[in-house]
Amino acid sequence: MNYSIKTFTIVNLLISVCSVVFITIVIHLMIEHDRFSAFLDNQLKHTNQTISATLADHLTIEAVDALSKHMTTHYNQIKDADYHVEYIVWNELNIPIIRTPQAPFMTHPSADKQGFSNVELGKRYWRIYHSNKPGSNIAITSMYLMQSRVQLEKNVTRNGVLVMLMALPFFALIIWFIIQRGLSSISLTTSEVANREPNHLEPIPQRDVPYEILPLIQQLNILFVQLKNALIREKQFAGNAAHELRTPLAAIKMHVHAAIHDCQDERTLASLNKVMLGVDRSQHQINQLLTLSSMIPDSLSTDTQLVDISGSVTEVIEHSINDALERNILINFDTQTNARARGYPDAIFILFSNIISNAIKYSPNDSDILIKIFEADCNIVCEIIDEGSGLSSTEMNHVFDRFYRATGLTQAGTGLGLNIVKQIIDLHHANINLINRSDRSGLIVQVTIAKADDDLG
């Protein structure tokens, strides 16, 4: 199963960052819980001290009324807050003389309740701090709901999580940018290999390559060198072997031709004619080997050219017409376009030469061959339709294999023609289909090649 390194890294980094941040928040809250409680307790104590410092030792009715109004005004300003302190001021008779509106009704705490305590009042739990004003019988009780503290802690946790979630897209963007920059060298290497011409087997530049992919680049360069050397050896072997065989075959053919000219015995003459056919077959095979050698990308020009498909097919027909006339085969040519393709002219000539040659070779005498060229979308389609025996399903699967020959054939052949055709098709990123005719016996060879950009529009 294929996967993206970039996506894998980004997703796992985000999961790791979120997990670390969440765990950090939880641990931080656990550590700060006691400190948070101590802070709120100190706030209660500070409230008592502030009220104690504000109150006189002996309160008059006017002072109590004024203080109550001030407290009410201040309370109205903070009453909607999630957390606020309630308090009660007791006189020397343990009667509450000042209280905030939300302070619970309670009796004066006993002497042993001085300081901090947790008390249940009205089915709610309160954190209470009770103290006496120094040098006076006035007592002060300040308190807050325990639920308020829990809610405050929840709010802090929620805000932390929300901040983390809001920051997550920015984390993702930053991580994506960093990884994009880090993986850019891989993208450049991929582009370098993908956009290479088939004959470009020079090493990939290793400058500014990260250490992590440097071994991969080095191994690719070694592979390119080995592939280049192997192609050169294959080309040289095929070329040398073909050229070395041409000379003795030409000498043999010359001597056999002379022997046939002087021979009077019919049996010897028949044997000599068979030898001549064998020599011709060998020469044809050598020519095909040379053609196959020329299909090696290193032997082709880097720059393609605009090729007139109709003109190329016309040229092939002109070269093949004598073979067709010898067997009374009529070639009908119907072209409906002058569109051009981009490719190698010599290779395209060999492509159609091998296909049309096969159509003539495997068609019966006194038959017709129809060649049509037309446009389909952005492609040029050439169909060569003969009246031969067609191909079986087994032959369809192997007909492009090198040296493959169907059993029972009497026509001369090397088994290389259609293999060469397939290599040329692949070289031009074209397509070839073999279809048995439905109206009668025969084969349709359909070649589809893209129109050149110059002819689009």
Mean pLDDT across the chain: 78
Q: Which residue has the higher pLDDT, 452 or 245?
A: 452
CB 354 within 8 A of CB 338: no
Cα of first residue to Cα of last residue in the chain, in angstroms, is 41
When pLDDT is cut at 50, 70 and 90, the band that residue 242 belongs to is: low
Residues 6+ apart with CB under 8 A from 422: 400, 432
What is the Cα–Cα distance from 40 to 153, expressed in whole angstroms? 12
Q: Which residue has the tokens 């008592």?
A: 48
Beta bridge partners of residue 375, listed in sequence order: 380
Evaluate if pTM is beyond 0.85. Answer: no
When pLDDT is cut at 50, 70 and 90, the band that residue 298 belongs to is: very low
State the pLDDT at residue 299: 46
Convert the pLDDT of each residue in 305-322 to its tens digit: 888 999 989 988 888 888
Question: What angle, 0 to 180 degrees and rounded to 10, lies between the N-to-C axes of helices 309-326 and 345-361?
Answer: 30
Convert the pLDDT of each residue in 327-356 to its tens digit: 898 989 988 888 889 888 878 888 898 899
β-strands 330-335, 368-376 pairing: parallel
State the pLDDT at residue 456: 61
What is the Cα–Cα distance from 149 to 239, expressed in whole angstroms? 92
C-alpha 171, offset from chain centre: 23
When pLDDT is cut at 50, 70 and 90, the band that residue 7 belongs to is: confident
Convert the pLDDT of each residue in 80-124 to its tens digit: 555 678 888 888 888 888 887 788 888 887 766 788 888 888 788
C-alpha 102, offset from chain centre: 64
Flag whether pLDDT at 170 surpasses 70: yes
Query: Which residue segments constitute the domains of the chain, with CATH numbers given?
Result: 5-157 (3.30.450), 214-294 (1.10.287), 304-455 (3.30.565.10)
DSSP for residue 388: S
Flag whether pLDDT at 280 surpasses 90: no
> What does the pLDDT average to over 249-273?
81
DSSP for residue 131: E
CB 218 within 8 A of CB 225: no
Which range, of 64-78, 139-153, 276-290, 396-410, averages the lowest pLDDT? 64-78
What is the Cα–Cα distance from 68 to 365, expressed in whole angstroms? 125
Percent of the chain whose predicted confidence (pLDDT) is above 90: 5
| Amino acid identity at 69 | K
Residues 6+ apart with CB under 8 A from 280: 253, 412
Instruction: List Cα–Cα distances, 296 to 288, 292, 352, 456, in angstroms.
Output: 13, 7, 18, 30
Exposed e or buried b per residue across 212-238, where buried means at least 16 C-beta atoms within 10 angstroms of its C-beta? eeeeebeebbeebeeebeebeeebeeb
Convert the pLDDT of each residue in 373-418 to its tens digit: 998 888 999 999 988 888 888 887 888 887 666 655 556 555 677 8
